[in-house]
């Protein structure tokens, strides 16, 4: 049994080797990726360290380019009537002058394969099967190393999967999996490591260990994400301000604080999933890359999310032409209001009881409306789901995942979260926050459970 597993990622230029490694290492900055062939010029490695001092190191390699010429060259330099076996053929090539000149890229690949326990051969299944691919596979097969073929670009419409499988079978490669580096199947990583475990017996322990690790990390990450979201929801629910009903500035200030809180939780989620804020988002997503798309206080965005708007909320909003003009998605905790906003606010007013002192002097409690908090919750959960399945090789803007019918669409806070309305010191947006308050923590845990 070995304790360090070395795997070479090989294949034709531009077939997605570096992208596959980004996906497997969950690192969107690994190497250079572009749609021009010949992007990776040197062998680059990345190590995944596991518990009990075992590790897996992946080696990204330059792509094969002129494999027909390489095949001819290797055949031609071999002594006449040679009985050299596969590996000797390759070492003879590596010692030849052209290994430093014409074929120096290919020599790097072959040298790396010989230094590894196995190779992963990446295939662009959109490509027709050409003689050059036959030749590069035949050269690699000389290495006598186990080879796992990975069919990449499987989510694309053009497919030559059958033809590729036929070629692989001719060469004697029977371990094949589909793994699109940009849109991998949900169980893609598991399948890949299980196939490797069958192929490289001496590494079974390392790979089983890694498989356990993947499951554990995935669950723990999802759990942490739910807690981050729940904490943001508690912060926004317990957030309040005492203000006069015509105090537009108070409304704007509160909205801005809530927006910043949303930005913070989005950044925290991106970081948790090892994405950074260079990720862009689609139009209907909130603030990624410092750019506001759909604002939290925008009625159209709310509707698009399928949130049921309470009667009062809608009338309050429509009278003022937009939410901003009515109450800005915030509600005053008393009926001591005038004009357009009253219709909207009467309904929520009941929740807060009277705050005599402030009411007498014209102040009342301003807090974020249920509907807005439900909207916030929905899009954070959708973002989390999307990150759960997002490949680190994906360079397109982040899209929110679709959800099945969800409780939060009712626009009414669940009881577990509603409690937070009564405890202003639970919100980090208020002064005098007690973050470690036991009851606060327990409510965060309950809300996190509900997000599952
Ligand atoms: N849609 C899709 N695009 C992919 C996939 N894999 C790679 N790409 C894209 O294909 C192009 C080439 O990907 P790379 O990862 O640079 O390919 P490579 O094999 O490392 O290329 P070289 O280093 O030049 O040999 C990039 O534009 C990737 O974004 C995939 O599975 N699906
Ligand atoms: Mg590359």
Residues 74-119: pLDDT tens digits?
A: 988 877 766 667 888 899 999 999 999 999 999 999 999 999 999 9
Q: What is the pLDDT of residue 361?
A: 61
Query: Which ligand approaches the C-alpha of residue 11 most closely?
Result: 1
Query: Which ligand approaches the C-alpha of residue 63 most closely?
Result: 1
pLDDT band at residue 313 under the 50/70/90 scheme = low
Work out which ligand 1 atom sits closest to the CA atom of 39: 24
Q: Summarize pLDDT for 140-160 with one digit per residue, the tens.
A: 999 999 999 999 999 888 889
In the predicted structure, residue 136 carries a pLDDT above the cut 70 = yes
Candidate of 33, 106, 180, 391 to mutate for ligand 1, largest count of ligand atoms within 8 Å of Cβ: 33
Work out which ligand 1 atom sits closest to the CA atom of 32: 16
Residue nearest to atom 13 of ligand 1 (CA): 16
pLDDT band at residue 294 under the 50/70/90 scheme = low
In the predicted structure, residue 295 carries a pLDDT above the cut 90 = no
Please check whether residue 363 is in contact with residue 332, taking contact to mean a CB–CB distance below 8 angstroms.
no
Q: Summarize pLDDT for 203-258 with one digit per residue, the tens.
A: 999 999 999 999 999 999 999 999 999 999 999 999 988 877 777 788 888 888 99
Q: How many CB atoms lie within 10 A of CB 36?
A: 8
List all residues 6 or more positions away from 205 whose beta carbon is below 8 Å from its beta carbon.
1, 54
Q: Which residue has the higher pLDDT, 7 or 346?
A: 7
Q: What is the pLDDT of residue 128?
A: 95
Q: Summarize pLDDT for 21-75 with one digit per residue, the tens.
A: 999 999 999 999 999 999 999 999 999 998 788 999 999 999 998 899 999 899 8
Q: Ligand 2 mean position to 393 CA, how many Å? A: 12
> Considering the entire predicted model, what is its pTM?
0.84
3-state secondary structure 192-232: HHHHHHHHCHHHHHHHHHHHHHHHHHHHHHHHHHHHHHHHH
Residue nearest to atom 23 of ligand 1 (CA): 40
CA distance 330 to 369: 5
Work out which ligand 1 atom sits closest to the CA atom of 22: 15
Please check whether residue 33 is in contact with residue 23, taking contact to mean a CB–CB distance below 8 angstroms.
no
Protein residues whose CB sits closer than 6 Å to any atom of ligand 1? 13-19, 33-35, 37-40, 62-63, 152-153, 180-182, 395
Candidate of 9, 10, 15, 19 to mutate for ligand 1, largest count of ligand atoms within 8 Å of Cβ: 19
159-163, 405-409, 424-428: which range is least confident on average? 405-409
Alpha-carbon distances, residue 201 vs 112, 188, 198 (angstroms): 20, 20, 6
In the predicted structure, residue 347 carries a pLDDT above the cut 60 = no
Q: Ligand 2 mean position to 42 CA, how many Å? A: 9
Candidate of 10, 16, 60, 158 to mutate for ligand 1, largest count of ligand atoms within 8 Å of Cβ: 16
């Amino acid at each position: 049994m070995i304790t360090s597993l070395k795997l070479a990622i090989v294949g034709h230029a531009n077939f997605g080797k570096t992208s596959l490694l980004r996906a497997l290492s969950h690192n969107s900055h690994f190497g250079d990726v572009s749609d021009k062939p010949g992007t990776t010029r040197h062998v680059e490695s990345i190590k995944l360290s596991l518990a009990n001092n075992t590790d897996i190191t992946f080696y990204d390699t330059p792509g094969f380019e002129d494999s027909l010429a390489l095949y001819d060259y290797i055949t031609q330099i071999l002594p006449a009537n040679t009985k050299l076996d596969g590996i000797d053929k390759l070492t003879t090539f590596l010692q030849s002058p052209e290994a430093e000149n014409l074929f120096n890229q290919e020599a790097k690949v072959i040298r790396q394969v010989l230094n590894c326990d196995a190779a992963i051969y990446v295939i662009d299944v959109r490509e027709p099967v050409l003689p050059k691919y036959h030749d590069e596979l035949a050269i690699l097969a000389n290495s006598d190393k186990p080879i796992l073929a990975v069919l990449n670009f499987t989510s694309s419409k053009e497919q030559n999967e059958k033809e590729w499988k036929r070629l692989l079978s001719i060469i004697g490669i029977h371990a094949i999996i589909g793994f699109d580096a940009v849109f991998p199947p949900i169980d893609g990583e598991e399948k890949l490591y299980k196939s490797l475990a069958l192929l490289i017996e001496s590494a079974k322990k390392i790979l089983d260990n890694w498989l356990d690790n993947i499951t554990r990390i995935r669950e723990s990450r999802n759990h942490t994400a739910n807690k981050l979201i729940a904490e943001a929801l508690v912060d926004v629910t317990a957030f309040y301000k005492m203000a006069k009903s015509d105090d537009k500035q108070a409304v704007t200030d509160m909205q801005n604080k809530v927006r910043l809180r949303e930005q913070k939780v989005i950044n925290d989620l991106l970081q948790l999933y090892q994405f950074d804020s260079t990720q862009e988002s689609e139009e209907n997503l909130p603030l990624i890359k410092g750019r506001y798309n759909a604002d939290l206080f925008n009625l159209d965005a709310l509707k698009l999310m399928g949130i049921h708007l309470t009667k009062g909320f809608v009338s309050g909003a429509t009278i003022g032409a937009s939410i901003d003009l009515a109450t800005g998605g915030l509600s005053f905790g008393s009926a001591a209001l005038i004009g357009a906003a009253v219709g909207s606010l009467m309904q929520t007013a009941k929740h807060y009881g009277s705050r005599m002192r402030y009411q007498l002097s014209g102040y009342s409690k301003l807090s974020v409306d249920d509907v807005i908090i439900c909207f916030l919750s929905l899009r954070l959960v959708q973002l989390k789901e999307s990150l759960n399945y997002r490949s680190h090789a994906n360079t397109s803007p982040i899209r929110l995942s679709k959800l099945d019918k969800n409780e939060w669409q009712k626009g009414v806070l669940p009881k577990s979260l509603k409690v937070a309305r009564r405890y202003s010191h639970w919100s980090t947006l208020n002064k005098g926050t007690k973050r470690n308050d036991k009851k606060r923590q327990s409510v965060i845990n309950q809300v996190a459970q509900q997000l599952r």
